Structure 1
Amino acid sequence: MSENPARAGRWAVAACFFVNGFMVGSWAPQIPLLVGRFGFSETVLGLLILLFGVGAVVSMPVCGWLIGRHGSRAVLRVSGLLCAAALLLVAAASAVPTLIAALVFFGVFLGAMDVAMNSNAVVVERRLQRAIMSSSHGFWSLGGFVGAGVGGVLAERWGHLGHAGAVTLVALALVLAAMPKLIVERKPAVAGGGFAGFPRSPLVYLTGIVALFSMVPEGAVLDWAALYLRQEMGAGLAEASLAFTAFSGAMALMRFLGDRVRNRLGAVATMRLSGAVAAAGMLGAGMAPSPLLATLAFALAGLGIANMVPIAFSAAGNQPGISSAAGMSVATTVGYSGLLAAPSLVGFVAERTGFAPIFIAFSALLAVVFLMAHLVRPADGIASQPAAGT
């Protein structure tokens, strides 16, 4: 019995999502090791991490341009291989200039892989004529969980180089296994291009803002929820860490269920439901009288936020009149640019107001996403878009 190329392509792109999340999760245990190796202050370390993020964001529009000319499969193959090897370069760096170059390299190909795998997931959706974006992001969350969870143990036992070497071997093996199964789209027609190849249609930029408004609260919870419970509610260290665990666990679970919900309700209704649940959860977290209630509220917010970014990305990749690569590069660039700036902005404001008003404000931001849900209607047009070639 011959293998269904679309189903094989679906699992191949899922493996790429897992690898991308796995690399992000594996990077986390290396961060404190950099402090020990180079003696960096928190400020210097923050600037280096910012360089890593800037490399990712800068590569995203360039990657969209490359996908428009060579297809998502070709770009995903190259960026996946280079991303898989990048953490080893960071671990092997023995001087600050080399480390800076390695971090930028890592960021560039992590970002390029992000755009390429999301674009390829849109191609798979068109072939299968059903949603797979949320569960694909679920594999990303799973990869991050595995990378961070196993990485700490390996780094402690084997050191920074042993850990990075093991991560590289696993990531390369998965990428090489996925490469032959990835679906290739037909040569995309470059339409709706504006200056430097950016789309002219304002709708794709508004969809990018939906992604941005969905990603910023997510980043705020991941970066600041534990500190909020510890400093403002008096929670112990273990109790405070449960906020992140509850949020990310609920988000990963709902991402694996999200495609089923979206296929049943449609993208717009799912986005509205998600926005309402997320806003309620974030409001509850900001007004909670105890760490336990705040943790439960963050879990509720995770259930809501889980499918918002995947739906926004699917809508961006299915914009009429432009290639999926152009739409995806806009959405990822706008979304991740805000995600870079948000942590420092939240920290600046929190010093003056505390965290509770910030989480309440993010509830209002998520309510705006609820009102903008009609903008993700193109995600419901999977079946009307051209299918991928073989």
Structure 2
Amino acid sequence: MDQRIDTARPVVRQGYMSKNRLAVSLLFLLNGFVNGSWAPKIPEFKDRLAIGEGVLGLLILVFGVGSLVLMPIAGGLIARLGSQTVAKVTAIILSPLLLVLTLVPNVFAAAIGMFLLGGFVGAMDVAMNANAVEVERSMRRAIMSSCHAYWSLGGLIGAGTGGFLMARIGVLPHAIAVTGLCLAILAVAWPMILADRPHPAAAREKLRLPLTPLPWLIGIMALFSMVPEGAVLDWGALYLRNELGASTELSGFGFAAFSATMAAMRFAGDHLRDLLGAKRTLRICTVTALVGLVLAGLAPNAVLAILGFAVAGIGISNMVPIAFSAAGNMPGLQPGIGLAVATTMGYSGMLFAPSLIGFVAEHSGFAIIFTAVPALFVVVLLLSHHAVHADHGKEHS
């Protein structure tokens, strides 16, 4: 039996538990909003610092390095202090960082700011996923997919309003408004965030990566689920325009269709997982994603490719939430440690795989890429039996 499941925990009123769920959903919304708000600031950031694409690329790489450095540290601190404490601290530090980047005077200061932004986006990501695992466990039902849907919603709001607000009220007022809204969201969530209890032995242990293979196998599931997502994000529009002859306007619909179906299915994913179980849901989603990307890669025209991306979004939507739930529910391992492994491996795929894909596509074309990348889903299917750990102790106790 998973010893971390507290069967003696007193029954709590459903209203109170719904507040815990609202709080962690707001944390996901906040994190996604910061990510989305950063995207429209990039051109202004580049022009203000008078840097070229090469330097900007290095700064974005520093963002990724910050995430990969602080994610494992956050996992260890969650094991010692609990996810509530780490989520609160990281959210407080993250909230003003876009304002900081708006005020940096030079490239050196910008590099520090980018490292901190990436680091605390990633650290908060680990903490809020760990807290979502605890809320799932206390409610005895899945909520992870809807939490990730709120992250997508936050990103959509941030990206959709950022350019408009910067054009209307200015860059600095926009950054101040983002900071104020983030702090307001955090203030609402603050008293309702579930107070989980760290394992007593964790405080006596050194912070180290797990030596057992299970968290790394689930990390591979997360990695191979997120690489295709990064491929569609970074290269889908270019594929539609350059290889399928889509107009500039139509080429943007590839990722839009992918994002729309992903967000919609994430809101429905928890019910599906409670109905079918995590293992069966993951397998259905993985096969759906595989079919969608192969359709996109073999499509003779842009309309069919966009349809393929939409189908892929339906499948990929719940693959990562299930992997993260499994990572946070592994027997004998604190949620923060397992989630640190899964999130670090998964997001490294989002950060670094697209550049490799771009290099390969320069010689082979993107049609072959989108046809071949789904081979990663075969590995996810082979590992899918480990998704049983996402079922809150129902099947693996």
TM class by shorter-chain length? over 0.9
Q: Which whole-Å CA distance do the structure 2 matches of 1:216 and 1:270 have between them?
A: 20
C-alpha displacement at 1:383, in angstroms?
Answer: 5.0
1: distance between equivalents of 2:387 and 2:212?
Answer: 14
Residues 118-174 of structure 1: per-residue CA shift (max 9 Å, x gap): 000000001100000000000000000000001110112222212111111111100
2:361 is aligned, of 347, 350, 369, to 350
Tell me what 2:171 maps to: 160
Structure 1: tracts of 5 or more residues without a match: none
Q: How many angstroms apart in 2 are the aligned matches of 1:195 and 1:68?
A: 11
Q: Deviations over 1:192-221 (max 9, x none)?
A: x99842122201110000000000000110
Picking from 341, 348, 351, the partner of 1:337 is 348
Deviates more, 1:53-62 or 1:298-307: 53-62
TM-score (norm. length: structure 1): 0.95
Out of 77, 96, 111, the position equivalent to 1:85 is: 96
1:294 alignment counterpart: 305
Shift of 1:39: 2.1
Structure 2 residue aligned with 1:134, among 136, 139, 145? 145
Residue identity (%):
51
**How many Å separate the matches in 2 of 1:194 and 1:352?**
49
Matches within 5 A, 1:140-289: 140-190=151-201, 196-289=207-300
Rounded Cα–Cα distance in structure 2 between residues aligned with 1:121 and 1:226: 33
**Residue in 2 aligned with 1:54?**
65
- The farther-off stretch of 47-56 and 196-205 is 196-205
SS at match of 1:187: coil
Q: Distance in 2 between matches of 1:156 and 1:98?
A: 25
- Write the letter of the residue equivalent to 1:95: N
Task: Report SS of the residue matched to 2:373.
Answer: helix
User: Structure 1 residues 71, 315: CA separation in 2 closer, same or farther (over 3 Å shift)?
Assistant: same
Distance in 1, Cα, partners of 2:292 & 2:201: 41
| Aligned pair partner of 1:368 in 379, 386, 393 | 379
Which whole-Å CA distance do the structure 2 matches of 1:26 and 1:5 have between them? Answer: 31
In structure 2, runs of 5+ residues without a counterpart are 1-12
Aligned residue number for residue 110 of structure 2: 99
Count of residues in Structure 1 that have an aligned counterpart in Structure 2: 384
What amino acid does structure 2 have at the position aligned with 1:329? A
Q: Deviations over 1:171-199 (max 9, x none)?
A: 110011101100011232557x9984212
Write out per-residue CA displacement over residues 79-110 of structure 1, whole angstroms, 9 at most, x where no aligned residue: 01111111110111121111111111111111
CA contact (8 A) 2:389 2:395 kept: no
User: For 1:321, what is the secondary structure of its paired residue?
Assistant: coil
CA contact (8 A) 1:272 1:371 kept: no
Paired residue for 1:115?
A: 126
Q: 1:234 to 1:266 in 2, by over 3 A?
A: same
Asked whether the 8 Å contact 2:389–2:396 carries over to 1, the reply is no
CA distance in 1, matches of 2:297, 2:54: 28
| Match for residue 26 of structure 2 among 11, 15, 32 | 15
Partner of 2:43 in structure 1?
32
Distance 1:189 1:201, change over 3 A: farther
Is 1:194–1:200's contact at 8 Å kept on the other side of the alignment? Answer: no
Is 2:77 the partner of 1:66? yes
Question: Partners in 2 of 1:9 and 1:24 — Cα distance?
Answer: 23
How far the C-alpha of 1:381 sits from its partner, in A, is 3.3
Q: Is the 8 A contact 2:230 2:349 kept in 1?
A: no
Q: Is the 8 A contact 1:23 1:84 kept in 2?
A: yes
SS for the counterpart of 1:197 is coil
More displaced stretch, 4-13 vs 244-253: 4-13
1:195 and 1:27 mapped to 2: Cα distance? 35
For 1:43, give the aligned amino acid: G
TM-score scaled by structure 2?
Answer: 0.94
Distance 1:303 1:54 in 2: 30
SS in 2 for 1:319: coil
Please tell me the residue identity of whatever aligns with 1:8. K
Give the Cα separation in 2 of the matches to 1:195 and 1:188: 13
Are the counterparts in 2 of residues 214 and 366 from structure 1 also a CA contact under 8 Å? yes
Shift of 1:367: 2.5
- The answer as to whether partners of 1:68 and 1:190 remain within 8 angstroms in 2 is no
Match for 2:39: what amino acid?
A
